[in-house]
Amino acid sequence: MAAKYEERAKTQGITLALTLRPSLGAVKGDERRLRQALEHVVDNAVRFVPTGGRVLIHGEGTHKTVRIVVSDDGPGIDSKMQVRLFDSFARFGRNNEGQASGLGLPLVRQFIEAHGGTVRLVSEPGQGTIVTLDLPRGD
Ligand SMILES: Nc1ncnc2c1ncn2[C@@H]1O[C@H](COP(=O)(O)OP(=O)(O)OP(=O)(O)O)[C@@H](O)[C@H]1O
Ligand SMILES: [Mg+2]
């Protein structure tokens, strides 16, 4: 998965780092949807981080949970927008640059919650964004 973004990261001049702890573990479920959800979060980070920026994908596990954290040091998201990020209705009328993947954060949350997981987003304008995906371990 990372390989797909490495190329793009290179051409964009951003650093992409992947750290997977041995404790990570596995998740049972619809692999395609879970992958789409994670890829979308990475896609956002890579897309919004400017040249010279950094995107980190970190995976770790506890005995119950698989946690994947995607963080970046990009522009961040202002609080007014943050409250609407996961609201699928708020997306209507938004200009998706024509080239939108069509997934978006509302569907990311839907896919993750369908697997018993949670999605949290913490963002500070000018500082960056952290998205945490927690999923129940299935191994
Ligand atoms: N990592 C991030 N850094 C800065 N802004 C972000 C980040 N992730 C999301 N955003 C902001 O949140 C908005 C909503 O993201 P979302 O993924 O739901 O839709 P989108 O990326 O605009 O469109 P689509 O996902 O359909 O291509 C983005 O347009 C962007 O303004
Ligand atoms: Mg997006």
What's 39's domain CATH number?
3.30.565.10
pLDDT(17) > 60: yes
pTM of the model: 0.91
pLDDT digits (tens, 9 = 90+) for 88-131: 766 654 555 544 445 799 999 999 999 999 999 999 999 999 99
Residue 44 lies inside a defined structural domain of this protein? yes
Range of the domain at 22: 2-92+103-136
Q: Is the CB of 128 under 6 A from ligand 1?
A: no
pLDDT digits (tens, 9 = 90+) for 23-78: 999 999 999 999 999 999 999 999 999 999 999 999 999 999 999 999 999 999 99
Strand 15-20 to strand 54-61: parallel, antiparallel, or no bridges (unpaired)? parallel
Report the residue among 12, 46, 48 best suited for mutation to probe ligand 1: largest number of ligand atoms under 8 A from its CB.
48
CA 82, 125, 36, 43 torsion: positive or negative? positive
Residue 66 lies inside a defined structural domain of this protein? yes
Instruction: Give the pLDDT of residue 27.
Output: 95
Residue 97 lies inside a defined structural domain of this protein? no
Number of domains in the chain: 1
Residue 98 lies inside a defined structural domain of this protein? no
Q: Is the CB of 19 under 6 A from ligand 1?
A: no
Residue 48 lies inside a defined structural domain of this protein? yes
Angle of helix 31-48 relative to helix 104-114, nearest 10 degrees, comes to 150
Mean model confidence pLDDT for the chain: 89
